[in-house]
Amino acid sequence: MSSPGQNQQRPLNLAEYYLLSCLDGAGKLVTQQHTVRVGLAGAVLTELARRECLYVTRDVVIVNSRHQAELEQPLHTVLRIMTEAPENQDAEQWINRFSRPALMDAVIKMLEHRNEVQVQKKRFLGVFPRTRINPHNSYGRMDMYVRLRATLLGRDTALDATTWPLIQLLYSTDVLTRIFPGLQNRDVKARLDEFHKAAEQQQPAIAETLQAVENAIAESLTATRGQATGMRG
């Protein structure tokens, strides 16, 4: 597991980028919290596959037992839970399991630690609790927006290991056009099809992971299944 100093120096991971993308300037989520939680679970799964901690297909997710690299939280905890599972599960089962408040809270805590957001807790009308996750105008947030825009509107189809998966995750949870309201959905889909075709040749493992995660997200957003989670909260 990474130390606090290492966490400050490392690049943001997909789950952190995803959550930052789901926040407007006032600290509100641009879509329903349940949708964001499902997207975060998919982002964590994709990040672990991208780091070769997992093998993800449309049928099953398998932990790579030979992978020994250190992971930051909450990736470390998620991978431990998956490693200790008595049997393999598919992407939909894992996304349903991890799309809980505990995972979202852990990602928020890490972003707060890195000074990407400021969390404010208030009570509406003095009774109802309300949390605002105010994003800072940090380099990470601005860099993310510039990269997303350049990838979507540019002509270059070179695969970026962070931007392309992030766009796919945002599209799968219907967040992308909320960030860029001027984009037509059909144009975004055409652009993603270009990247997916390139990825099938250049990065087939990640292409298959994203396809499995996209299918799992779609299923999770159309049917809620209550499952226990090993994460606290």
Mind listing the pLDDT tens digit for each residue in 131-189? Answer: 788 888 777 788 888 888 888 887 666 778 888 899 999 999 999 989 988 888 888 88
Pick from 54, 63, 58, 49: nearest CA to 91: 58
| Assigned token pair, 60 | 């099953």
- Range with the poorest average pLDDT among 49-53, 85-89, 170-174, 223-227: 223-227
Q: Is residue 227 part of a domain?
A: no
Would you say residue 159 lies in a domain?
yes
User: How far separated are the first and last CA of the chain, in Å rounded?
Assistant: 20
- Report yes or no on 229 lying in a domain: no
Is there a contact between 95 and 45 (Cβ–Cβ < 8 Å)?
A: yes
Closest CA relative to residue 18, chosen from 193, 176, 211, 214: 176
70: phi then psi, degrees, rounded to nearest 5: -75, 145
Q: Considering the domain boundaries, does residue 52 fall inside one?
A: yes
- Domain range for 135 is 4-222
Determine the distance from the C-alpha atom of residue 172 to the mean position of all C-alpha atoms in its chain, rounded to a whole number.
11
Answer whether residue 233 is part of any domain. no
Cα–Cα distances (Å) from 102 to 73, 74, 171, 202, 229, in that order, read 12, 10, 23, 35, 9
Q: Average of pLDDT values for 55-80? A: 93
Which CATH number fits the domain that encloses residue 116? 1.10.3630.10
- Domain total for the chain? 1
Q: Do the beta carbons of residue 61 and residue 44 sit within 8 Å? A: no
Structure tokens at 179: 């960030």
